[in-house]
Amino acid sequence: MKGATAKENVTKIIADAFGSDYVGEFDKKLYVWANDGTERIQVSISLTCPKVYRGVEETGPAELNFEDDEESAAGPSGAFTPADITQEEQDTLAELMAKLGL
Which tens digits make up the pLDDT trace of 15-27?
999 999 999 999 9
Kindly state the average pLDDT of the residues 44-71: 72
The residue ranges of every structural domain in the chain are 1-49
- First and final CA of the chain: distance in angstroms? 49
Torsions phi, psi for 48 (to 5 deg): -135, 155
Which tens digits make up the pLDDT trace of 69-79?
555 555 555 67
At residue 78, what is the residue type? G
Nearest partner of 63 among 73, 72, 74, 54, judged by Cα: 54
44: Cα within 13 Å, side-chain hemisphere: 6
Full-model pTM? 0.52
Kindly state the average pLDDT of the residues 75-102: 81
